[in-house]
């Protein structure tokens, strides 16, 4: 941990436009969950700054993909290749709102995390930020189950390690594979609205020991082909009774316009 940026310095490092970070809670959560050296390319995706047009910072001081909402003009811009570009997602001028739906900290190891009382047609996009510890004696696979169903699903993942890489296909919505006794950082997005196949993707970073200790990164892509039933709950399931180990932290957010 010696090469990790001290947390007290992050506020100064990203103090643009007069403390203009809107999603401060999510930003802090990412820092608290991420093990090892902080990865700026992951954090940058969650920076949304705001302020007047005159106070808009120089784009060269910001990471690629950072966004700025002008409170006096109602316009939104994105940092692209060293220039401010009008963001077409701004629509009427109101930025998307990321809202915490529920947060879980595991105190007794379990195989199921449940988020209920949802409305997929109204909630926009779901995002899950998590750090999961596997308390089982062997590797565990983790799946997302909308309305606790496992039918009409398919997925694919690519994995990259310091030793090898490869790909797998599944008939479930897999979002993580974690070795026994290890933890992984999860960043998952899922589009829950009816009217089209529900798709999602996920990035997982952790460790693996099957062929010697190595850093491993997964990219997961998945789809639920059932497109008529509104999603009212999301179940995260581990294929071992203690797959969600003590101390695991999982937060569900919704991103709405």
Q: What are the residues facing 128 on neighbouring strands?
A: 188, 252
Pairing of strands 76-80, 112-116: unpaired
pLDDT recorded at residue 45: 44
pLDDT score recorded for residue 207: 63
**Residue 239 backbone dihedrals phi, psi, to 5 degrees:** -85, 30
Domain with CATH 2.60.120 in the chain: 98-256
What was the pLDDT predicted at 198?
A: 92
Q: What is the model's pTM?
A: 0.65
pLDDT (0 to 100) of residue 1: 41
- For the chain, 257 residues long, the average pLDDT of each consecutive 10-residue run is 48 44 48 49 53 80 74 75 66 62 96 97 92 93 96 90 83 92 91 90 76 72 94 97 97 85
CB-count burial class (<10 Å; 0-12, 13-18, 19+) for 234: buried
The structural architecture, per CATH, of the domain 98-256 is Sandwich (2.60)
Distances (CA, A) of 201 to 52, 57, 210, 250: 34, 32, 25, 16
Check residue 179 and give its pLDDT. Answer: 87
Residue 157, both tokens:
């993942």
Residue 244's pLDDT is: 97
The helix (H) or strand (E) run that includes residue 220 is strand 214-224
For residue 22, the model assigns a pLDDT of 41
What is the per-residue pLDDT for 72? 72
Q: Cβ neighbours of residue 30 under 8 Å, at least 6 residues apart?
A: 42, 43, 46, 129
pLDDT at 11: 47
Is residue 31 within a helix (H) or strand (E), and if so which, with residue range? Answer: helix 24-33
pLDDT at 208: 65
């Amino acid at each position: 941990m010696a090469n990790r940026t001290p947390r007290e310095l992050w506020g100064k490092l990203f103090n643009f436009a007069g403390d203009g970070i809107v999603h401060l809670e999510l930003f802090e959560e990412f820092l608290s969950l991420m093990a090892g050296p902080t990865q700026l390319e992951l954090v940058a995706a969650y920076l949304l700054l705001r302020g007047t047009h005159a106070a808009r910072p120089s784009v060269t001081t910001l990471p690629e993909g950072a966004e700025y909402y002008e409170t006096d003009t109602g316009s939104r811009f994105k940092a692209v290749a060293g220039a401010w570009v009008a963001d077409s997602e701004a629509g009427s001028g109101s930025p998307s709102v990321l809202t915490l739906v529920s947060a879980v900290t595991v105190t007794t190891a379990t195989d199921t995390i449940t988020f209920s009382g949802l409305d997929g047609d109204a909630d926009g996009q779901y995002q899950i930020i998590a750090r999961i510890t596997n308390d089982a004696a062997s590797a565990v696979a983790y799946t997302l189950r909308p309305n606790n169903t496992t039918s009409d699903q398919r997925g694919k993942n690519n994995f990259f390690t310091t030793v090898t890489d490869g790909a797998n296909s599944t008939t479930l919505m897999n979002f993580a594979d974690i070795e026994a006794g290890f933890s992984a950082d999860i960043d998952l997005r899922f589009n829950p609205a009816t009217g089209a196949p529900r798709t999602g993707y996920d990035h997982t970073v952790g460790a693996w020991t099957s062929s010697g200790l190595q850093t491993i990164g997964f990219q997961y892509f998945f789809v639920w082909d059932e497109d008529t039933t509104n999603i009212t709950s999301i179940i995260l399931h581990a294929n071992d009774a203690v797959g969600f180990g003590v101390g695991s932290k999982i937060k569900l957010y919704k991103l709405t316009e």
